[in-house]
Structure 1
């Protein structure tokens, strides 16, 4: 049953940060204050509470994630009907140094053995609506006040993303002395609305990477040594040798997608997958394979 209590219904277009080389000033844009958040290494997601407290969890492209994150869905369901929040799903693992965010561990959430599932948090950075109110044309500062009031007391899988309004503090924490699982900084003007694609958020990463479409692989079946990728500008290029820890995950993802081999030992993929690559700065345009992105789907051609 549809009601006015749910003014925003996923899937919804999300604001996507644009890459920048320099962290913006504290009075950006147009003289308003700036909020800096840690760019956590996870899966972007939108959570919503529909009628009868039915919670849904979607990737930034609209893919359903509820079956992989039932604990997050349960926590979302306790929020008011009509709530829609934007954030990052992050896996938390423990080692000798303590707790850390681990992107690779998120893939285990797709496995059937829940004993191997890592703990997760849904690190929230925006509220798009609450009961009966669409917040997207309210300033970010007001949306953040609503978001803070929605969250349960800790400990909870729903948490606010680490944030500050101090540029110096942000650079020191998340660029100079960043913890594992922190990729850099996202800067957002506190006066800005949530209106993609007009709303401009800026991301400054410690390493410059791209999401590319894997169209073919080469090497042993199950452990590809190289990938042919299509870059965002439409050109195709071969990666350098894939590091050993990343070969098996890529092999598993492509095992049932291999077409007949071509000259040179390449297997085209009947259905492409997405991987993160790092573009070299030399004139030979070398590409380094970084990791598989199982949370993303290739854009239509």
Structure 2
């Protein structure tokens, strides 16, 4: 019987790991969500949106063919690791074209096995069957749950410089689409960037607009107490009046002349600033910076 691509179940992004015992917590790998299918027509690997990428993942497909099952649908993440052993999203694209033998598929769920649809089984049971199917030591690996409470696992993941964790209800069934039964909690990082504009509208939280080495990154909230906030607006006042940067003719933004920088805290692993907050600021000629 031919198995079709199943639209993925997707975790919601939340701020805090869930509390209580009914959850498993896994590393959030920084890669491409991938579905691995085996049926009578052989092995196929699909992207998150259902595009067939088997030809890009030939070494993975060859290894998948050795798994001891007639047919399966496995969910995982294609990753490549850096020297520190962490998944490295930026190196992934070139690895796929230049060295696909270095790719890993980290398997985290099993939706179908030997003609049986497992999506109505609880997650904990699906993962137990999956773990037994995936041998240790290869380039297809089982995504181990990390022991401990959500808070502890999240803290350790961030300390280890990982992107974050995914927490999943142990008793949850598999349903395509977005769900709160799976939650992703991302780590934050801090970085120094240039403050190139501000948005101040009545009744809305104030934001500074940031650029990193000339690349526009988005906005960060200003949450300082009154005196520090006033000090920021005083600095801003002396720099207002720059033309809008190319491609950023945003309404209601005041653009600034160069020379003001800030330290921003934001979610790791995003192209643009998300959940970002300005932690400190200075003029580039200030002493101490």
Please classify the TM superposition score into its range, dividing by the shorter chain length: 0.5 to 0.7
Query: Structure 1 205/282 Cα, relative in aligned 2: closer, same or farther at 3 Å?
Result: closer
Verify: 1:194 aligned to 2:201, yes or no. Answer: no
| Residue from 121, 124, 129 that aligns with 1:146 | 129
| Equivalences for residues 11-30 of structure 1 within 5 A | 12-27=6-21
Higher gyration radius (CA): 2
Superposed CA offset, 1:124-171 (max 9, x none): 11000001100011100110111011112x321111113125215413
What corresponds to 2:186 in structure 1?
205
Query: Structure 1 151/163 Cα, relative in aligned 2: closer, same or farther at 3 Å?
Result: same
Query: Structure 1 264/189 Cα, relative in aligned 2: closer, same or farther at 3 Å?
Result: closer
What corresponds to 1:66 in structure 2?
54
| Residue from 43, 54, 57 that aligns with 2:45 | 57
In structure 1, runs of 5+ residues without a counterpart are 28-32, 209-238, 247-262, 267-274, 284-301
Superposed CA offset, 1:174-206 (max 9, x none): 13x124xx2111111110000123742111101
Runs of 4+ with deviation above 2 angstroms: 196-200, 239-246, 263-266, 279-283
1:118 and 1:245 map into 2 onto residues whose CA distance is 33
Note the C-alpha offset of 1:67.
Answer: 2.1
TM-score of the pair, normalised by structure 2: 0.64
| Residue from 23, 33, 42 that aligns with 2:31 | 42
Verify: 1:159 aligned to 2:141, yes or no. Answer: yes
What corresponds to 1:277 in structure 2?
272
Superposed CA offset, 1:15-66 (max 9, x none): 1110111110123xxxxx21000111111111110215x1111111112222
Number of aligned residues? 210
In structure 2, runs of 5+ residues without a counterpart are 190-208, 217-243, 248-269, 279-289
The RMSD of aligned alpha carbons is 3.1
2:19 and 2:245 map into 1 onto residues whose CA distance is 50
1:55 and 1:17 map into 2 onto residues whose CA distance is 26
8 Å contact from structure 1 (residues 34, 165) kept in 2: no
8 Å contact from structure 1 (residues 45, 89) kept in 2: yes
